[in-house]
Chain A
Amino acid sequence: MLQLFLIAFRNLGTHRRRTLLLGGAIAGVTALLVILNGLSNGMAATMLRSATTLSTGHVNVAGFYKVTAGQSAPVVTGYPKIIEQVRKDVPELDYIVHRGRGWVKMVSDTSSLQVGLGGIDVQAEPGIRNVLQVKEGSLDGLAEPDTVLLFEKQAKRLEVKVGDTVTLSAPTMRGTNNTVDVRVAAVAANVGLMSDFNVFVPSKTLRALYQLKDDTTGAIYLYLKDLKQVQTVQARLRQTLAASGYELMDNDPRSFWMKFEVVNREGWTGQKLDITNWEDEISFITWTLTALNGLTGVLIFVLLVIICVGIMNTLWIAIRERTREIGTLRAIGMQRTRVLAMFVFEALTLGLLGTVAGALLGLAVCLSVNAADLSVPDVVAVFIMSEKLHLAVNPGSVVGSVLFITACTTAISLIPSFLAARLKPVTAMHHIG
């Protein structure tokens, strides 16, 4: 076997230009795959980190309260009792927070915006400090009542800065409009799509705006130690909360604001809880990831086909050039399977060298991009939820790329190799060309 590898390796060395050209193409595709995977993983990681901190927990206990059949509000009543039970039922919990949720019109002296409103107790939110990069003011300013945290883009559009006042206007559960004036306590750096439709105020301010009771909140966010436990915890909570007498909505994997129409059509009144997970809540933006992965798949498929044709062609040429050698080796006692192995090894060696070189190149690009801390255009930032381009290098995905492309190049070499092995020794020995 070693001798066959040696022959393969030396034959590649003998035809250096051909090897470099094809190996370079394989390396290029592998590098591209590593970079696109890095981009996709980076986006996923940023989305997960940003979205799960700013607009959803890993698992959420939320729901709707309906005063009449056709009028719903996205609130959870009696939340302290629910939190108490959740703490008991979920030992996998890292920490738990609750937030008010709403949709308001935010008005400044010069402009206005429709935004989602998050009511937070900033002192009880360990995660938010890691995600938000405050550019102006202080996050602790949100501890004071009637304050607001905006994102740079919103502040720019409303033409406000820290210390200025804006008015929040929203309909209450009773159908009347209410307003509250809030002072801009902090302006944070944009975090993609999230910063387009999210602002944060203290929980008390949100309750005052919507005229909610103290034991009412928008949603309870559960953050788990291990993200893999999401499905298990979600399923368990459905059982335990139902067993405790809470009414639960049917599972609907969409964000809460997409459910109003359905909820308003249903005949029930009172409180129903809705157990969702982070993927449900940001399902409307994960399409970007799906699209990127799809695009990566198509691009890699097309490039792989080109490379496979190249590999086949190269092997055809090699087999044609070495037909007499095949005949000689068969004559001196080499079995067909070994002739097959000899050419497959050649493709394998070329594939492995190309993919490893490509993976290293791709890694170097990813690390360089991360080190350069590159900013992306606003349009891109909206989708990747970050103003900076971050390529997440996942060793498993790099190894996977290397193995996948090597496997493809090796598999395609089976066709010409098999035909080489089928050559009759006498025909091969007397081949001219």
Chain B
Amino acid sequence: MNAAAKSPIVSITNVTKDYTLGKVVVPALRGVDLQVHAGEFISIAGPSGSGKTTLLNLIGCVDTSTTGVVSVAGQDTQKLSERQLTDLRLHTIGFIFQSFNLVSVLTVFQNVEFPLLLQRKLDKAQRKERVMQLLEQVGLASHAKHRPNELSGGQRQRVAVARALVTRPQLVLADEPTANLDSVTGQHIIDLMKELNQKEGTTFIFSTHDAKVMSHANAVWRLADGKILDKLSAAEAQQAMAVGSH
């Protein structure tokens, strides 16, 4: 099915976001418009300070825009209460962080199981089955009882991927998921995300400034100085990056 024909899972209209640092107002986003459809594998690219993380925070409902409309899974996030936003994150969105952000005192299994416990939809056996299935998928079933500090960076990020996907969210947001990994491990993580996108149909939006990483995306939204520059195919984006770097 053509992704563009479906209703967008993320719709951003004329969004601005300002940060106030003392008496200085710093604009992070300046009138961004963007739509992402279900099943897409989207990259947001741009240099440091371009507004990638701010945009992901708004899509992820962990922050609110100064003006404009951010709609996720058909819900205008400005109109939702704090509790409703938390519920939306729990049931609709999965997060993968640059520095993994696992709970250090929990095992791999417990970290992945945690969002399911918050959801309270599955019983113990169902949770175990779901978690182990995902750990199999990310190749960490044998590490289920390990603590995060016993794992390598790549393994930790795979745990984070499993945690993000365990609730079967419609949308997964990944903020520079490969930034803290070596290139081979980073490649594995992107391959894993792509595989899950294709198998499960989960929508992925990830930020990166690595041309190799963005080559896997269906489309690349380029950001600069808080504005969307353009929407390119992966090949076009790579070409544009290559020109830019020369």
B residues less than 8 Å from A7 (CB atoms): 103, 105-106
Is A144 an interface residue, CB under 8 A from the partner? Answer: no
A residues less than 8 Å from B246 (CB atoms): none
Known contacts: A11-B105, A324-B101, A338-B118. The answer to whether A332 contacts B89 by CB under 8 A is yes
Q: Within the complex, which residue of B63, B82, B104, B115 is in contact with A332, where a contact is CB–CB below 8 Å?
A: B115
Is A299 an interface residue, CB under 8 A from the partner? Answer: no
The answer on a CB contact under 8 Å between B103 and A333 is: no
Interface SS of chain A: helix
The answer on a CB contact under 8 Å between A328 and B62 is: no
Is B197 an interface residue, CB under 8 A from the partner? Answer: no
The answer on a CB contact under 8 Å between A333 and B86 is: yes
The answer on a CB contact under 8 Å between B110 and A3 is: yes
Q: Within the complex, which residue of A3, A6, A325, A334 is in contact with B86, where a contact is CB–CB below 8 Å?
A: A334
A334 to B103: give the CA distance in the assembly, Å.
13
A residues less than 8 Å from B62 (CB atoms): 327, 330-331, 424-426, 429
A residues less than 8 Å from B97 (CB atoms): 328, 429
B residues less than 8 Å from A13 (CB atoms): 105
Tally of B interface residues using CB under 8 Å: 28
Known contacts: A335-B83, A426-B62. The answer to whether A3 contacts B114 by CB under 8 A is yes
Q: From A335, which residue of chain B is reached at the shortest CB distance?
A: B86
Is A14 an interface residue, CB under 8 A from the partner? Answer: yes
Is B91 an interface residue, CB under 8 A from the partner? Answer: yes
Is B196 an interface residue, CB under 8 A from the partner? Answer: no
Known contacts: A7-B106, A429-B62. The answer to whether A333 contacts B101 by CB under 8 A is no
Residues 1-39 of A, flagged 1 when their CB comes within 8 A of B and 0 if not, give: 001001100110110000000000000000000000000
The answer on a CB contact under 8 Å between B86 and A10 is: no
Is A407 an interface residue, CB under 8 A from the partner? Answer: no
The answer on a CB contact under 8 Å between A333 and B106 is: no
A residues less than 8 Å from B110 (CB atoms): 3, 6
Known contacts: A11-B105, A426-B63. The answer to whether A330 contacts B117 by CB under 8 A is no
Known contacts: A338-B118, A426-B63, A429-B62. The answer to whether A332 contacts B95 by CB under 8 A is yes
Question: B residues 61-89 with Cβ under 8 Å of A?
Answer: 62-63, 82-83, 86-87, 89
Is A329 an interface residue, CB under 8 A from the partner? Answer: yes
B residues less than 8 Å from A426 (CB atoms): 57, 62-63
Q: Within the complex, which residue of A14, A327, A333 is in contact with B91, where a contact is CB–CB below 8 Å?
A: A333
Is A336 an interface residue, CB under 8 A from the partner? Answer: yes
Question: A residues 286-342 with Cβ under 8 Å of B?
Answer: 324-325, 327-336, 338
Q: For residue B201, give the distance in angstroms from its CB to the closest CB of chain A.
A: 21
B residues less than 8 Å from A333 (CB atoms): 86-87, 89-91, 115, 118-119, 167
Task: List 8 contacting pairs A-B, 8 Å CB cutoff, sorted by A.
Answer: A3-B113, A3-B114, A13-B105, A14-B105, A324-B101, A331-B62, A333-B91, A336-B86
State the 7 A-B residue pairs at the shortest beta-carbon distance, nearest first: A333-B90, A10-B105, A328-B101, A426-B63, A425-B62, A426-B62, A333-B89
User: Can you name 12 extra interface pairs (CB under 8 A) apart from A3-B110, A327-B62, A425-B63?
Assistant: A6-B106, A10-B105, A14-B105, A325-B104, A328-B103, A329-B103, A331-B60, A332-B94, A333-B90, A333-B119, A334-B86, A426-B57
